[in-house]
Amino acid sequence: MADSFEIRIITPDRTFYVGEAEMVEFNTTEGEIGVYKNHIPMTVIIKPGVLTITGQEVKKAALHSGFAEILQDSVTILAEVIEWPEEIDEERAIAARDRAEKRIREHDPKTDIARAETALQRAVARINVIR
């Protein structure tokens, strides 16, 4: 059993989650990472993905953008956009995924590929959280 540490998730509108966790996993610009207690202090930038908090129970949320400050005994995630599974509209997420995929496939020089890719990542993260 790993030691637990404090995790705080703050959004511009509310304090999303505060609690104890043994491990948190999320996606960053450098790839997916998992954080245990006594991690070296680090600041990482978040990419759209699934946030998993493992403590007494496992919680999942769709984390889209922001950054995280990792200290030895706490993790603070400043999330610009984050959603619990029950806040996600599955049909909309699937529609968004299909739309983004179509845009990327079509290779239209006018489309902003980077934007379409982020949209796709976001939609996939939402879908993964629900399932």
Partner 1 sequence: MASMRDIKRRKSSIQSTGQITKAMKLVSTVKLQRSKQAAINSKDYFNYMYRTVQSMLAKAGSINHSFVKGNDSSKKAVIMITGNRGLAGGYNSNIVKTVTRSGMSKDDMIIYSVGKKGREAMHRHGYELAADYSTMIDAPQYDDAMRLSAVLLNAFRNGEIGEIYLAYTGFKNTVVHEPKLIKLLPVELSEDAETNEQSKVPMNFEQEEEEALELIIPKYVTSLIYGGMIESVASENGARMQAMDNATSNAEEMIDKLTLQYNRARQGSITQELTEIIAGSQAIS
Q: Which stretch binds partner 1 (CB under 8 A): 49-57, 63-71, 86-94, 97-105?
A: 63-71
Quote the least distance from Cβ 34 to partner 1, whole Å. Answer: 14
Give the Cα-Cα-Cα angle 97, 93, 126 (nearest 5 degrees): 100
Q: Is residue 114 close enough to count as binding partner 1 by CB under 8 A?
A: no
Site string for partner 1, 78-97 (x = CB under 8 A): x-xx----------------
Identify the residue among 2, 42, 95, 113 touching partner 1 (CB under 8 A): 42
Instruction: Calculate the CA 14 to chain-centre distance.
Output: 17
Q: Is residue 11 close enough to count as binding partner 1 by CB under 8 A?
A: yes
Q: Is residue 29 close enough to count as binding partner 1 by CB under 8 A?
A: yes
Token pair for 130: 């629900």
The 8-class DSSP code of residue 84 comes to -
Calculate the alpha carbon distances from 108 to 2, 18, 104, 112, 113 in Å. Answer: 50, 44, 8, 9, 9
Instruction: Calculate the CA 116 to chain-centre distance.
Output: 18
Give the binding site for partner 1 (CB under 8 A).
Answer: 10-15, 28-30, 40-45, 65-67, 69, 71, 76, 78, 80-81
